[in-house]
Amino acid sequence: MRRRLATPRTGGLLALAVVIAVLPAFLPNNFYFDVMILVGLNAIVCIGLNLLVGYAGQISLGHAGFFGLGAYSSAILTSTYDWPPIAALLAGAAGVGLLAFAVARPIMKLRGHYLAMGTLGLGIIISIILTQEVDLTGGPDGMPVYGFSILGWEPSGVLVWYWIVGGLLLLTVWLALNIVESPVGRALRAVHGSEAAAQTMGVDVVHYKVLVFVVSAVLASIAGSVFVHYIGFVTPSEAGFIHSIELITMVVLGGLASIYGAVVGAAILTTLPQLLTFLHDYEMLGFGAIMMGVMIFLPRGLVPTTARLLRDRTR
């Protein structure tokens, strides 16, 4: 039993559930709930992004684009076309999945810097379209969005949203752990380790690159949809380059190829700017410095480094 509790699956999920359940008792006001909800949503995007970047070894500098597309799909379909929010969320996710599938084949042929440039370009194109299509998206000013509702129930108040996002985060972590500890997860890590060897072992490298790109894009889209209903408003900056960089920094800080690392990275880098608002002007400077510092001093990231230290100590 004790051994079981020390595994990332049982012990980690349990710890995360306890943290999510107990945290509200320590949050003094709505502002902190708001921050925690944003942590949860960023964590969901980062888990998907870490499957792509940390596990499969493929970079993406455009993932905020998928988040933005999910957000705007929900905003436009519910506000302009009166779709039920859940249908809009699913349609957005399906649309983003299709888009990711269509661009993945050509874009995943690129490697290293070229893939970074390709995904960067994709994110920028999405963000430009969202800014320029004023009639559809409201342009740079953004657009308001109605609240969420499912089967007549409308969540309201930060506590309800907190539980929704907390539940979604737990579910995402569970699904991601399942993927990682399966033949699919091993194939993804093999693609990262050596494409030549992965191919020779029977792994269809292109298939898995496309698959993980689509999965991570769909997760970002769903998080975007939930985000937009919670906030009630969306602007093109959600899809922007800066947001993409923030997401990547979260993944790298928390730890590449670590599901919990994505959660920890998202928690730290979402919370810090909110608590240090008086340093707002230096926010990007801070992100850059953190990125450099992690690369130099903690190349594995926080969670894998800590896990290794603990493991070596117990030996």
Closer to other proteins by CB, 28 or 183: give it.
Answer: 183
Choice from 13, 84, 124, 186 touching other proteins (CB under 8 A)? 186
Q: Quick one: which of 86, 95, 189, 274 contacts other proteins (CB under 8 A)?
A: 189
Nearer to other proteins among residue 22 and residue 315 (C-beta):
315
Q: Which of residues 199-228 bind other proteins (CB under 8 A)?
A: 199-205, 211, 215
Applying CB under 8 A, does 182 fall inside the site for other proteins?
yes
The reply to whether 300 sits near other proteins by the rule CB under 8 A is no
Check residue 7 for interaction with other proteins (CB under 8 A). Answer: no
| Strand ranges (E), the chain | 143-144, 233-234
| 169 near other proteins, rule: CB under 8 A | no
Q: How many CA atoms lie less than 13 Å away from 111 in the CB half-sphere?
A: 6
The residues in 255-294 that bind other proteins, with binding defined as CB under 8 A, are 257
Tokens 């379909």 appear where?
77
The tokens of 187 are what? 């194939």
Length of the chain: 315
Contact mark string toward other proteins, 237..256, x via CB under 8 A: --------------------
Kindly state the smallest distance separating residue 308's Cβ from other proteins, in Å. 10
Q: Which of 155, 192, 268, 291 binds other proteins (CB under 8 A)?
A: 192
Q: 4 Cβ partners below 8 Å, 6+ apart?
A: 10, 11
Nearer to other proteins, 68 or 255 (CB): 255
Tokens of 37: 């909800």
In three state form, how does the secondary structure of 245-312 look?
A: HHHHHHHHHHCCCCHHHHHHHHHHHHHHHHHCHHHHHHHHHHHHHHHHHHHHHCCCCHHHHHHHHHHH
Q: What is the largest CA-CA distance in the chain?
A: 63
Q: Is the dihedral of CA 259, 186, 247, 211 positive or negative?
A: negative
185 binds other proteins (CB under 8 A): yes
Q: Which of 193, 232, 293, 299 binds other proteins (CB under 8 A)?
A: 193
**Contacts with other proteins: how many residues (CB under 8 A)?**
28
Nearer to other proteins, 12 or 185 (CB): 185
- By CB under 8 A, residue 312 contacts other proteins: no
Q: For residues 8 and 315, what is the distance between their CA atoms, to the nearest angstrom?
A: 18
Q: Which of 5, 8, 4 is nearest to 263 (CA)?
A: 8
Is there a contact between 104 and 81 (Cβ–Cβ < 8 Å)? no
For residue 240, give the 3-state DSSP assignment. Answer: coil
Binding other proteins by CB under 8 A: which of 35, 184, 272, 307?
Answer: 184
Provide the residue type at 283 as one letter: E
175 lines the binding site for other proteins (CB under 8 A): yes
Among 10, 98, 181, 284, binds other proteins (CB under 8 A): 181
| Smallest distance from other proteins to CB 175, Å | 5
For other proteins, the binding residues (CB under 8 A) are 175, 178-179, 181-187, 189-190, 192-194, 196-205, 211, 215, 257
